[in-house]
Amino acid sequence: MSDIEETTKPSTAIDDAPEEKSTSSFVMIATLGVAGLLAGLLLVVVDGITAPRIAKYRKQQQELAAKEVLGGEGRILRIEKFAFVDGSLVPITVDDTGQESPSTDSPIFRGYDANNVLLGYAFPGAEFGYADVIPIVIGYSPSTHSLLGMKVLGNKETPGLGDNIVNDEHFANQWPGKTAPLVQMKGNASLANEVDTISGATISSSAVIRGMNRAIELYKPAIDALESSDSQAAVSATKSEKEAG
């Protein structure tokens, strides 16, 4: 073709590299060592810039999803964060530097509406689907012991089939009022503990339901315990009309 040669031909074999005077091992190691060092430095610098942004975005997403399963962002006035430590919920406090303690990757949210009435709790769950782990957030009302909602946080399920756990409206909206443990049905759910899977996305949708059951089993005792102790404290202190959960 031309002298700025295009070598998609197998002339790329090691032995026809330009003009052989053999290079000492030291030079080779030094070259790659220096290159690796420079690459590492660059990555550390960029990671320092992007990591806080990524962490902040994750927090925002968690909080947004929590508000959504608690009944929509518009309804929420105040939201509190808890960490799940040794089977009970510990309030997360933020110090002056923005550091949270106790720190957790999967906080539990408690939301109140504009009249300061408790809406419920939002907590995370996860279960293996068809392709990968499906992370979810579950909204739960301790006063009625029933669900408020569920949101799939992200999924790598098969586009067009498994990812209907996000796109299927019946599946996405069937949760409010349901009570755990949930029983899987095939489109004919009627009782309070029955929910439908999605035909064509059976593995993914039943994984979501399993994940919900597991998360509820894990967090429900802690939430109910916190609620009853909180409401007792509230009643004895202020005789407020807070509903005992």
Site map 81..110 versus another protein, x via CB under 8 A: ------------------------------
CA distance 76 to 117: 10
Helices (H), 126-201: 164-167, 169-173
Q: Is 116 helix (H, G, I), strand (E, B) or coil?
A: coil
Q: Is 117 helix (H, G, I), strand (E, B) or coil?
A: coil
Q: Does 32 bind another protein (CB under 8 A)?
A: yes
Written as one letter, the residue type at 163 is D
Q: Does 18 bind another protein (CB under 8 A)?
A: yes
Backbone phi and psi for residue 70, each to the nearest 5 degrees, phi listed first: -90, 5
Q: Is 108 helix (H, G, I), strand (E, B) or coil?
A: strand
Which of positions 124-163 make contact with another protein (CB under 8 A)? 154, 156, 158-161
Select from 32-40, 120-128, 184-192, 208-216 the region that touches another protein (CB under 8 A).
Answer: 32-40
CA-nearest of 121, 117, 112 to 142 is: 121
Q: How many residues bind another protein (CB under 8 A)?
A: 38
195 or 207: CB nearest another protein = 207
What residue ranges bind another protein (CB under 8 A)?
1-8, 12, 14, 17-18, 22-23, 27-28, 31-32, 35-36, 39, 42-43, 46-47, 49-51, 53-54, 57, 61, 154, 156, 158-161
